[in-house]
Structure 1
Amino acid sequence: MDAQTLDNLRINMGGPWENALAFMLALMMFAVALGLRPAHFAFFKTDPKHYLAGVATQIIGLPLLTLGLVWVLQPLPSLALGMIVVACCPGGNVSNLFTLFGRGNTALSVSLTATSSLAAAFITPISILFWLSLYPPTEHILKTIHFDAGRFLSQSLLILVLPILSGMALAHKFPRRAKAWQKPLALIGGLSMLAIVLFGFWKYRDLIPRLASLVIPLVILHNASAFALGWLVGRLTKADLPTRRALTFEIGIQNSGLGFVILVTQLAGLGGAAVLVGMGGLWHMIGGACVAFLFRLADIKNKHQHT
């Protein structure tokens, strides 16, 4: 598939499916807000250096690294757009699991995930617009789809901010009810969104093999760079080993589901970007498992050296 064809490709799932995706995303954000507790932000007081380093790297460091990568690699504009969208997305709960498996600082991981999820409602749409505007090919491709920034921000406000604020208000006023609803709603929203995304992959399954050679190397390199950035931030802030591992997973794994929904519902379903984000979500699971396995191997090696 040539560059012009890929950049002109659109993922059109149909109005009802796109509306369902937006609704399920709003439901998930509502569920996230129901589960937020003051304890999730305790690291702001107990370990502000590593907490703030993690937050700053998620919001600024990873998008900046990604911008550098696309300037150096010069991928097709739609693929560059997908990379930047992924970098602007918050971490997901999967990073908490990998931190646990990799014997990292799980409490810090949970705290950073909660913070990035809350911040995502307000920052992610603005961050996407800002970083895309700094790379001329992605700025140009937005013009080709007649992108309306005001409409994008207002719809993002409806899908992301309103559910977060509603969930936080409910959790504050009815904490027991919020606790009872949080997990079922998160499960329903997550599984439903996964089903719709898988439907999208199935609908366009003939395209995936043709795009794999262009997309997979970028996905792997981008994810490896994000993991390396998280580890480097841990080293630069002189974090202990478990904290370094938590930062590695929090910076290395993003909520690609959010990025996919934004692309399909707000950015005209740009095909190259949507495929990259979708494959990125799958690869983050593989990459996260590999990093957790390497951390476990390092622990075994260190244990043998000290016995």
Structure 2
Amino acid sequence: MDPTGADALYVELSNGFRVAMSASLVVMMFTVALGLKVADFKALRSEPRPVIIGATAQILGLPLLTLGLIYLLGPVPSVALGMIVVACCPGGNVSNALTMFGRGDTAYSVSLTAISSVSAALITPVSILFWSALYAPTNALVGTLDISPWPFISQTVALLAFPLAMGMLMSEKKPEWAARLRKALSPVALAILFGLILVGGYTNRDVLLGTDHGLFPVVFLHNGLAFALGGLTAWVSGMSMARRRSLTFEVGIQNAGLGLLILLSQFDGVGGAVAVTGLWSIWHIAAGFVVVALFRSYDWAQSKNIIGKSREV
């Protein structure tokens, strides 16, 4: 990796662009919350152990794995920041769809996504500051951005918690309204996000698409280890095959779009970090379908007696 290239990159952001990013962040979290209900958390009461294990793997395990990888690879500070931000984000709804396609336990996946999404309002900003402080170069970089911990946490919590609370309240009290509004807002939120990313990406295409920064191998390895962490955690914990697949997707699929919005709205558009989250947001979906194909191929091989049946706990 070029030792200076990625750190020298910054995404140029106008004040209007920053406001738009913050607004899209609110719309995104409100839309996510419209699909959350108290019933999504029922697994925490009926089967707390697998839910706690899964949430721990995602909230603590992935950032810890990321920190170890950072120390192993020694990336420049901005790239390390991007890796940490991604690892601290909650799982995305994409993991639920991939779990279904991969014949995993969808109900378990939905419960984990709901828990990580709700806890993200506080845990994500706190985790970003905590884990970035444990790698001296990134800690120094954050210091140069003049980011004060409490204002950052309070602003980010407000941007995340308020729309989450309002969305979940509507989902419980007025489920029909919530369903209609979510149906209308989902494409709007997606269009806003992609529109802003495309405009910002095109304006700063040298930052995002530069091939001399060595980001592609880092993102591929980081994401691959995230998938492996989820599957290995479930296997060691003695979970069923279906839940192993669910946790594989839940840890490997992160809401990188949220991380991208946080970086652009709160971290002055640090180019290396933005490039990492941007690449992750595209790659993890492609990698997820590769994992789906592997799981389906395994099932096909079992059905043809090519490989032996596995024992599930």
TM over 0.5: yes
CA shift, 1:119, in A, is 0.8
In structure 2, the CA distance between the partners of 1:221 and 1:5, relative to structure 1 (3 Å rule), is closer
Within the alignment, does 1:134 sit opposite 2:129 as a pair? Answer: no
Distance 1:45 1:184 in 2: 32
Q: Which has the higher helix share?
A: 1
Q: Deviations over 1:154-193 (max 9, x none)?
A: 2202211111122233334333322321222233112211
Distance 1:276 1:56 in 2: 24
2:214 counterpart SS class? helix
Distance 1:260 1:161 in 2: 18
In structure 2, the CA distance between the partners of 1:158 and 1:211, relative to structure 1 (3 Å rule), is farther
Within the alignment, does 1:39 sit opposite 2:57 as a pair? Answer: no
Query: Which residue does the alignment assign to 1:119?
Result: 119
Distance 1:113 1:60 in 2: 15
CA shift, 1:7, in A, is 1.1
The residue identity in structure 1 corresponding to 2:79 is: L
The residue identity in structure 1 corresponding to 2:188 is: I
The residue identity in structure 2 corresponding to 1:44 is: L
User: TM-score normalized by structure 1?
Assistant: 0.95
Distance 1:197 1:21 in 2: 9
> 163-172 or 84-93, which moves further after superposition?
163-172
CA contact (8 A) 2:9 2:272 kept: yes
CA contact (8 A) 2:37 2:172 kept: no
Query: Which residue does the alignment assign to 2:298?
Result: 298
Distance 2:132 2:284 in 1: 22
> 182-191 or 17-26, which moves further after superposition?
182-191
CA shift, 1:200, in A, is 1.8
Distance 1:276 1:212 in 2: 13
Q: Percent identity?
A: 44
CA contact (8 A) 2:89 2:256 kept: yes
In structure 2, the CA distance between the partners of 1:299 and 1:212, relative to structure 1 (3 Å rule), is farther
CA shift, 1:35, in A, is 1.9
Query: Which residue does the alignment assign to 2:203?
Result: 203
1:176 counterpart SS class? helix
> 3-12 or 237-246, which moves further after superposition?
3-12
Distance 1:44 1:3 in 2: 45
In structure 2, the CA distance between the partners of 1:239 and 1:182, relative to structure 1 (3 Å rule), is same
Within the alignment, does 1:259 sit opposite 2:259 as a pair? Answer: yes
CA contact (8 A) 1:34 1:171 kept: yes
Report how many residues are paired: 307
1:305 counterpart SS class? coil
Unaligned runs of 5+ in 1: none
CA shift, 1:209, in A, is 3.9
CA contact (8 A) 2:219 2:276 kept: yes
> 121-130 or 189-198, which moves further after superposition?
189-198
CA contact (8 A) 2:37 2:168 kept: no
Query: Which residue does the alignment assign to 2:84?
Result: 84
CA shift, 1:47, in A, is 2.5
The residue identity in structure 2 corresponding to 1:10 is: Y
Query: Which residue does the alignment assign to 2:311?
Result: none
Query: Which residue does the alignment assign to 1:155?
Result: 155
CA contact (8 A) 2:27 2:189 kept: yes
2:278 counterpart SS class? helix
Query: Which residue does the alignment assign to 2:110?
Result: 110
Unaligned runs of 5+ in 2: 308-313
Distance 1:262 1:173 in 2: 30
CA shift, 1:2, in A, is 4.4
Query: Which residue does the alignment assign to 2:190?
Result: 190
The Cα RMSD (Å) is 1.7
Distance 1:208 1:259 in 2: 15
User: TM-score normalized by structure 2?
Assistant: 0.93
